[in-house]
Structure 1
Amino acid sequence: MNIIAIDIGTSNCKAIITGMDLKVFKTFEYATQPITPKQGWNEQNAATIFKEVVKMLQQSINFCGEENIACVSLSAAMHSLLAVDKNGAPLMNMLTWADLRSARYAQALEKKNLAKKLYAATGVPVHAMSPLCKLMWLKNEQPAIFRRAHKFISIKEYIFFKLFNKYIVDHSIAAATGLLDAKNICWYSDALKLAGITEKKLSELKPIEHYETVLLPSIKNTLQLNRAIPFVLGASDGALANLGSGIVNANNVAITVGTSGAVRITSNKYVTDKKQRLFCYYISDGLYITGGALNNGGIALQWLVEKILKEAFRNESRLEALFKAAAGIKPGSEGLIFLPYILGERAPVWDENAKGCFIGLTETHTEAHIIRAVLEGVCYAVADVLQALEENSNDIKHIYLSGGIIKSGVWIQLLADVSGKKIMLNETADASALGAAFIGLKALGKVKSIGDAKMFLQNVKTVKPSAANHRIYQKYFAVYRSLYGRLKDVFSELSALP
């Protein structure tokens, strides 16, 4: 028997087919296209994504044969928001986590001293990514859509509605909305009041293992299915990436650096940070995922290569040459520090107005210095979140690294030197989809607990830090950490200029 796991991301959607041993033997995927007509806007067409999900289901079912399918399980990106009418038709394009139009509503909550209370109750830092802030923006700036909306949902909820004509949301996706009471696992009334809605405007809460089997007749016909197959709700891509990498306790931290980045642990404690630097989202079985997401990972290097150096980012031989040039520069780039907030930033500063900048630039700095400074800047950003995690969870012992960064030995070594920790490479492919497949097994009763996901933990290679380089980086990191506080008001002033 096979499991079909579908991961709905903001850059691409993917379907993997595994056996009951969770070994992947087939993948289907397609790239999603963001709609970005203006700076700060980031939308997607929900109907188009649903069509592609149906295509991947058709491909997967045809590949497996329906008699060989044990279940379908889903993963999806967090923080999306879609308003639909009474028929379930979208009234707008879906807003992704990267849409920043609600920034001033997030900032207003900060000024009214409501952010701390909201964070303590929901585990979600107040930021434009949050559906809570998006709802406040929609209510005030798109009132016609807000009034017409029958439901406010995420992309995964939209897909389940199109499949089953039911509005249901798993605890994990709901936990990232800023609307869920993270301790009692119910909708949080104070947040609903701020958003101007009641529970009736939201989906029914369900565990991540919940599944449905009665597809709409039209969908069943489209997929050419003759028998009932469980469709498991699954969870958020971040939570499932931890499970799919085997990170199931607070001793291990998963660090992913791709286009963006993330630093996450799995814990049986509801861990919040006094400085509101970290998120804490419920998963299941009394477990939470705690950490921080970064806007600026590999995208910072891509910006430098494409916009400044005017070269192709996908040219692997050229990239290798750039990494080699950077490796020839001393740690600290001879006094040059890059603050990598070119897309604003989420953790640990949660500031949509944050800007990227070079500090310490002199006539002695070359292209190689600038490249190394950008690589170091991303490592500083990761270490900044890691340090916040360590301040709140003293149990972290091992770092497992994944994402595009693992293609560069130079960049991996920089992260080890900056953090001062051994880096274990985790090459688990499609971790979020694999985590979804695991939840499929749990829904079917084939595994007892989320802790069984430790089967995925792997260490392909260990990279040790240089003690001498780490001592140098400690001094630079101290300067890096002070920069945002010094420049925060400047960033705000720049954002207000025409």
Structure 2
Amino acid sequence: MNIIAIDIGTSNCKAVITGMDLKVFKTFEYATSPIKPKQGWNEQNATTIFKEVIKLLQQSINFCGEENVACVSFSAAMHSLLAVDKSGEPLMNMLTWADLRSAKYAQALEKSNLGKKLYKATGVPIHAMSPLCKLMWLKAKQKAVFRRAYKFISIKEYIFLKLFNKYIIDHSIAAATGFLDAKNICWYGEVLKLAGITEEQLSELKPVEYYETALLPSIKRKLKITKKIPFVLGASDGALANLGSGIVNAKNAAVTVGTSGAVRITSNKYLIDKKQRLFCYYIGDGFYITGGALNNGGIVLQWLVEKILKESFRTETRLDALFTAAASVKPGSNGLIFLPYILGERAPVWDENAKGCFIGLTDTHTEAHITRAALEGVCYAVVDVLRALEENSGNINNIYLSGGIIKSDVWVQLLADISGKKIMLNEAADASALGAAFIGMKALGKVKNITAAKMFLQNVKTVKPSVANHRIYKKYFAVYSSLYGRLKDVFAELTAMN
């Protein structure tokens, strides 16, 4: 028997097929392109994504044979927002997490006592990524759409609506909306009032292992199936990435650095940061995913190569040469520090106005210094979130690292030296999809608790920090961590000028 894990992301949709031992043996994938009508806007067409999901299901079921499909389970990106009418048809393009048009509403709310109260109750930092802030923008700027909306939903809710004609949302996706009371696991009345909507305009809350089997007849015909296959709600991609990597306690952190990045722990405590630097999202069985997402990971290196050096980011020999040159530079890049906020930033500053900048630039600095400073800057940003986590949850022993960063030994060593922690290279492919498959197993009664996901914990290689280099980096990190506070008002002024 097989499990089909459908992972709905903002850059691709994929189907990962596993056996009942959760070993992957087939993947199907489609790229999804964002729609960017204006700077700071980031949309997707929900109907197009649904069609891609149907194609993935058709391919997967055909590959497995319907008699061999134990269940279908879902992973999806967080923070999407779509308004639909009474017939379930979209009234707009879906807004993704990267859409920043609600920034001014987020910034005003974040500064208020109400914003602090909402963060404490929901665990969602006040930021333009949040569906709450997106709804505030929609109410003010798209009044006709807001008035006509029957429901406000995410992309995964839309998929289940089209499959089963039901409005249902899992606890994990709901936890990232800004509308969920994170302790009592119910819709939070005060935030509904702020957004100007009712509970009836949101979907029905369900556990991540909840499933439906009664597909609409038209969908059954498209998929060419006759048996009742459980379609499991699953969870958010971030939460499932932790489970798919085997991170089930607060002593290990899952760190991903791809185009963007994330730092997360799994805890049985609702951890709220007094400085509002971290998110805390419920997943199930009394467990929460706590951490922070970074806008700026590998995109920093891509920017440097393509926009500054005017070269191809896809040329591996050139990238290798850059890493080699960076490795020849001493820790601290000869007094050069890079604040890597070229796309604004989420954790730990949650500021859409944040900007990237080099501090300490002199005529002694070369391409190698600038490259190393950029790589160090991304590592500083990761450690900034790690430090916030440790302040709230206690010491983190190990970092389980995944993403494109692991292709560079130089960059991995920099993260070890700057963090002062052992890096466990985790090469588990498609961690979010594996997490979805695991939730499928839970829905089928094959595992009892989320902690069973520790089966995925793997360590291909360990990278230890240099004690001498870490001693140097502690001084540089102290300077780095003070920079945003000193420059925050300057960033806001620069944004206002454009």
TM-score of the two chains, using structure 1 as the length reference = 0.99
Q: 1:124 & 1:356 partners in 2: Cα distance? A: 24
1:477 matched to 2:468? The reply is no
Aligned to 1:75: 75
Aligned to 1:371: 371
Q: 2:341 & 2:197 partners in 1: Cα distance? A: 33
1:298-342 deviation per Cα after TM superposition (whole angstroms, max 9, x unaligned): 011111111111111111111111111111111111011110001
1:222-267 deviation per Cα after TM superposition (whole angstroms, max 9, x unaligned): 0000111000000000000000000011111100000110000000
| Structure 1 unaligned spans of 5+ | none
1:199-223 deviation per Cα after TM superposition (whole angstroms, max 9, x unaligned): 0110000000000000011110000
Q: 2:416 & 2:446 partners in 1: Cα distance? A: 38
1:164-220 deviation per Cα after TM superposition (whole angstroms, max 9, x unaligned): 000000000000000000000000111111111010110000000000000011110
Aligned to 1:341: 341
1:267-322 deviation per Cα after TM superposition (whole angstroms, max 9, x unaligned): 00000101000000000000000000000000111111111111111111111111
1:420 matched to 2:420? The reply is yes
Aligned to 1:139: 139
Aligned to 1:248: 248
1:495 matched to 2:495? The reply is yes
1:453-491 deviation per Cα after TM superposition (whole angstroms, max 9, x unaligned): 000000000000011111111111000000000000000
Q: 1:476 & 1:483 partners in 2: Cα distance? A: 11
What is the Cα deviation at residue 64 of structure 1?
0.2
Q: 1:244 & 1:259 partners in 2: Cα distance? A: 19
**Local SS of the residue matching 2:284:** coil
**Local SS of the residue matching 2:386:** helix
**Local SS of the residue matching 1:329:** coil
**Aligned letter for 1:64?**
C
What is the Cα deviation at residue 395 of structure 1?
4.4
How many residues align? The count is 498
**Local SS of the residue matching 1:36:** coil
**Local SS of the residue matching 2:113:** coil
What is the Cα deviation at residue 115 of structure 1?
1.6
Q: 1:33 & 1:86 partners in 2: Cα distance? A: 28
1:415-434 deviation per Cα after TM superposition (whole angstroms, max 9, x unaligned): 00000111011110000000
**Local SS of the residue matching 1:470:** helix
Aligned to 1:115: 115
Q: 1:288 & 1:189 partners in 2: Cα distance? A: 21
Fraction of identical pairs, as percent: 84
**Aligned letter for 1:277?**
R
1:195-214 matches, within 5 Å, as 195-214=195-214
Aligned to 2:167: 167
**Aligned letter for 1:135?**
L
**Aligned letter for 1:153?**
I
1:140-176 deviation per Cα after TM superposition (whole angstroms, max 9, x unaligned): 0000000010100000000000000000000000000
Structure 1's consecutive aligned runs of 4 or more residues displaced over 2 angstroms after TM superposition are 110-113
**Local SS of the residue matching 1:291:** strand
**Local SS of the residue matching 1:263:** strand
1:338-381 deviation per Cα after TM superposition (whole angstroms, max 9, x unaligned): 10001100000000000011111111111111111110000000
Q: 1:329 & 1:114 partners in 2: Cα distance? A: 47
Aligned to 1:229: 229
Aligned to 1:400: 400
What is the Cα deviation at residue 397 of structure 1?
1.5
**Local SS of the residue matching 1:4:** strand
**Local SS of the residue matching 1:441:** helix
**Aligned letter for 2:105?**
Y
Q: 2:248 & 2:112 partners in 1: Cα distance? A: 37
Cα 1:395–1:380 change in 2 (3 A) is closer
**Local SS of the residue matching 2:214:** coil
TM-score of the two chains, using structure 2 as the length reference = 0.99
**Local SS of the residue matching 1:290:** strand
What is the Cα deviation at residue 119 of structure 1?
0.6
2:397–2:421: 8 Å Cα contact kept in structure 1? no
| Structure 2 unaligned spans of 5+ | none
**Aligned letter for 1:126?**
I
2:243–2:453: 8 Å Cα contact kept in structure 1? yes
**Local SS of the residue matching 2:311:** coil
Aligned to 2:10: 10
